[in-house]
Amino acid sequence: LFQELAKYEDMEDQVVLTEKGREGARAHPVGGRVTVPVAQVRVYSAFLELLEDGFGEHPFYHCLVAEVPKDQWSSEETCVVGFAMYYFTYDPWIGKLLYLEDFYVMAEYRGLGIGSEILKNLSQVAVKCRCSSMHFLVAEWNEPSIRFYKRRGASDLSTEEGWRLFKIDKKYLLKMAAEE
């Protein structure tokens, strides 16, 4: 689904982890080792990092998933058709925040209330954890998502409060970290 979300957002070239890389990893029959074709080592490494980051001793993110049962999907017991990836952060002015990093429902399952149900469950997590709000980004061109969020009370901080999002790439982080 990550790859499908990237395609939907026209950002496929920025995804390191791919399903092909996942499928390319095979358990070795002796000692539980993993063998990976050389060309897929980087992708598989990214997949392992994704697993560690989300399911390791100190998870950096959490996920909610929506699944459809076997009778609606032929290849597996269930199939994940939507997800929300989120983490917690803190703002000294307003306290705890839930940050929604990625939210996606497969096209053929949109309009069935799945996205609303995921967002409802995510809101319950935020309330239970005493978060003051939920923050997220939406691409300017993504009018369907903007309408979806606004119908649920979201406000656009870029137009209402004038905030601008910045990033510092890893090469500049390394450069600043090395400065004396």
- Report the 3 state secondary structure along 127-161: HHCCCCEEEECCCCCCHHHHHHHHHCCCCCHHHHC
Active site (annotated) includes residue 90: no
Separation of alpha carbons 158 and 141, rounded Å: 14
Catalytic residue among 44, 86, 104, 149: 149
Contact 99, 80 (CB under 8 A): no
Residue 180: HSE in the Cβ half-sphere, 13 Å Cα cutoff:
0
Residue numbers annotated as active site: 149
